[in-house]
Amino acid sequence: MTTTTESPQVTDRIEKRFEVRAPQARVWRALADATEFGAWFGMTVEGTFAVGVTVRGQITHPGYCHMTMDLQVVALDAPRYFAYRWHPYPIDPKVDYSTEPTTLVEFHLAPVAGGTAITIVESGFDQIPLARRAEAFRMDDQGWTGQVKSITRYVEQS
């Protein structure tokens, strides 16, 4: 039942829409619970998700274990909308990304026959410094393509 559609090529926004064979409540838990989020996303999250709270995550994917990311939760509207801000593709441990603008990551959930439709949107790339904007967009686009598979496996098998 998993299907994926992608938006036309743009520079400011990544959008992935797909369906999973899992109830909306199950998908919501996988997103809104920081431990579960970390399990499918591939990071160890310190803390719990709450609006206005920033949590830190240590990436656990091989080759990226040196990366930590801060997620500032901006919305938790159960069971349909979760959003946070972060610094896209903060790959260089010697760079302080805290002075850069962030992108907004949104998860929109809706019930569909046999499961849940998920739309992931990351926007705000046009505000990222030009020197790293295209690479951050490209890598996050690839990353979300992989994360679609990850969350699908996670919610359909648990």
pLDDT in tens, 100-112: 999 999 999 999 9
Confidence at residue 12, expressed as pLDDT on a 0 to 100 scale:
95
- Supply the range of the domain harboring residue 10: 4-157
Please state, in angstroms and rounded to a whole number, the distance separating the CA atoms of residues 86 and 57: 11
**Matching residue, tokens 């959003």:** 83
Please state, in angstroms and rounded to a whole number, the distance separating the CA atoms of residues 143 and 151: 12
Q: Which of 74, 35, 77, 83 is nearest to 57 (CA)?
A: 35
Confidence at residue 6, expressed as pLDDT on a 0 to 100 scale:
53
Confidence at residue 11, expressed as pLDDT on a 0 to 100 scale:
84
Q: How many CA atoms lie within 13 A of 95 on its CB side?
A: 13
Tell me the whole-structure pTM to 2 decimals: 0.92
Please state, in angstroms and rounded to a whole number, the distance separating the CA atoms of residues 41 and 46: 14
Confidence at residue 1, expressed as pLDDT on a 0 to 100 scale:
54
Pairing of strands 103-112, 115-123: antiparallel
Q: Which of 66, 81, 72 is nearest to 124 (CA)?
A: 72
We report the CATH number of the domain holding residue 9 as 3.30.530.20
Q: Which residues of the chain have pLDDT under 50?
A: 7-8
Confidence at residue 88, expressed as pLDDT on a 0 to 100 scale:
97
Confidence at residue 59, expressed as pLDDT on a 0 to 100 scale:
95
Cα distances from 85 to residues 59, 75, 123, 133, in angstroms, run 17, 10, 10, 16
User: 139: which 2 tokens?
Assistant: 């890598």
Confidence at residue 3, expressed as pLDDT on a 0 to 100 scale:
55
Confidence at residue 63, expressed as pLDDT on a 0 to 100 scale:
87
Number of domains making up the chain? 1
